[in-house]
Structure 1
Amino acid sequence: MLPSYVLLDLETTGARPLKDRITEIALIKYEGEQEMSRWQTLVNPEVPISSFIQQLTGINNEMVANAPTFKQISGELLDYLNGTVLCAHNVRFDHGFLKNEFKRIGIDLKQKVLCTVKLSRKLYPQHRSHGLDAIIARHELVCESRHRAMGDVEMMVGFLKSARQELGDVVIRNTAEALLKGSKSLPSHIDAQLIDDLPETPGVYLFYGDTSLPLYIGKSINIRERVLSHFSRDHASTKEMRISQEIKHVEWIETAGGFSALLLESKLVKERQPIYNRQLRRERQLCSWRIAEHPTQVPIVSLVQVDEIDPANMGQLFGTFRSKRQATEVLYKIAEQHQLCQKVLGLESGKGACFAHQLKRCKGVCAGKEASELHCLRLTQAMAAHKIKTWPFKGKIGIHEKNHFNDKSALHLFEHWVYLGSVEDESALDKIAEDKLELIFDLDTYKLLLKELGKPKVKIIEFESSPS
């Protein structure tokens, strides 16, 4: 597959690299397609193994009690990894644990990595699932010790052997090399150290040129992968090419999850106004239509600017438009589609019946042929698709995110679609509760929160009055 690589698998006490520890390591080292050596060892994690993990892996506290610690086997492990590509199924997991274990003993692990999950996706795009169990079933492999390190390594061996038989050595090698190439494509004017330092976790990244103002701010559930994608030779746009040419420095902020990254990106873009973030910049012309309380009022709709929007009464508004022109164009289309009176809507001036009524495209509220109440009802129904959602909670809510991989936690507080701030956990809510924040509607926050609330597994904490 590659000139020199190691197939590796770990068993651990849990899924959090910053807190959990390694209990078993197994690897097979290859030069080309030739197996050179294999090695496995139990590891004393120096922390108790939970009953759940014991049941899953079959490794219990008694088995590791007299096993060497990671520090004791670290030198031998480094000898196997030296000069090779580390290959693992979901390599982010194994690499993250190794980096943290080495970091605890004062060693900064620098290792090229290749994920066999990504390799499977590239080789077999027609299949939906690429987890190890799916691959075992797909290639009819026989595993005698699933969830033990060497047993899982041997399943990766079986997968590669089967793939070579089906697709050929050249396809496997070229695909693996392409994946590796994509992981080290930073341009020469950027410090190559970034390749190793970029985290594979959710967060926000900031690109800088020659000044202290960012060129571009982005977000991703995998910072490393997304940043490196900006430097692909196959640039998707002129903007991407310009960004890659102008970047001199990269910074990043890890977050607890994708929603945290979206909120932070939106906030930073509005604060710092990077030149290549056009869509997320603050639109001060934001406006919405409001239907009059009395159906006989003319015009029956009025345009409300962003500064006049009261977040507590959002349910009375229709549409989130970035300009008066956009709002008017939408209203014209609605009037045409539903035979509404453009004069009553304020889109046409003059006395008497509207022009559309002469063309039989208005049902005649302007000529006394349709009751104002009925016209208003039809207007409300026609605008229903654009109606801004009413706040569905009694008071403030918190949306909780927890990332076990980087041990980040965040509780995001909202009221009437307005983002009030974030804390690490509920114990830190008092400060936000005491702050008398002005509720200012923001379209991007509204859309982000609306989408997040629609997800089935979102964790919501409701506060009827204050979150103190």
Structure 2
Amino acid sequence: MYTILDIETTGGQFNEEGITEIAIYKFDGHEIVDQFISLVNPEKPIQPFVVKLTGINNAMLQSAPKFYEVAKRIIEITQDTILVAHNAQFDYRILRTEFARLGYDFECHNICTVELAKKLIPEQPSYSLGKLVRALGIPMADRHRASGDALATVKLFKMLLDKDLEKEVVKTFIKTEVEKKLAPKLLDIVSKLPSTTGIYYIHNENGDIIYIGKSRNIKKRVNQHFTGSARKEKKIQAEVFDVSYEETGTELIALLKESEEIKVNKPNYNRALRKTIFPWSLYSKVNDNGYLAIVLEKSDMRKKEIASFATHQEAQNKLFQFTEKYNLCQKINGLDNPKTNCFPYQLNQCNGACIQKETPEEYNLRAEDFLANNEYQNQNMIIIERGRNIQEKSAVVLENGILLGYAFYDLNYQISNIEVLKNVITPLPNNRDSKNIILGYLKKSKYHKIVRF
């Protein structure tokens, strides 16, 4: 559990500032579950430049509660949480100073979204809260008021959690749970999970991820792990300390995240997906006679493939389909190895390229037509589907046929401005696994919308 904090102060000399307003949102990593917002009487005058910046003046605070009157509520809402703030060093210092004046030692694990953003969204022109959320298309109201700044920080933090493919933030949170020696039972773990589409992460007591999975019903799938009798399931049951999750709204993003995050985190019980899941690929090459051949070979990361497949049979079936559809030659494409002409030539289904009756120039026009029309080759498109809630939508973005990543958005401004969209995107590598996941999904899904740009 996290508490997202923002504090406005009187200004003044170091460690002599007083709090004028405080906003705390309790956030479970997915949604706000509690909040506390209040003006505070600092019992000292506010600096004029601060009045101009925040709009909070001395008269507004005369009837506001003093810090000691809200201190108990602050302790209650922040207890057993990780404190999150934009420039956390400042807010945490101010809070500790106020509690120290009351004779109380306030301590809390904390995360700074400035430092987190610098790591996960590098090369931004500015990391001030206002400029950063504007660059990311995050809506913001009441700038320089505690509630507005804290709510914007919640949205920023949620986006940063999405971008944290190595799950360093979640691992830190799990470790704090271990420190409190809370060992939830399997039923307790399952009870807190949603019955929605997304990714789940099974952690051991060190916070390390031992298994990553995706499901259209996270609760049901994790429960199957905990009730299964297979050897792997028994090992997971013995080692699990907690399960974290990310809702994705759409199965496509769940598939893409699962594939990549298994490669990044290398969980002990995901050995099957650590390497490429598409070991066979189609490639194009010009043969000795000048004909453009489409051939089936083992996948080679050094070469650009046309398409990749999970099995040799699946790849061969596709190559037969392509060869027939574009009236290509089975012999040239390596599907037949006769001494003279290919078998389809005898049925008048091949123009004779196999025996050089058809010129390479004539034949290659059809082969190039196939390459030009191959799936999403060199296309700029955004695959839009539902998001994690009713107000939100998801986007998977490809530019020149290359996967850039995915994003969640709730404003048309974010999707219509390609530069803002690129800032919002959680990047994913463009490899044969992601390409084939997208191709396979587009063929079977009926609910997506494609926007070209």
TM-score (ref. length: structure 1) = 0.41
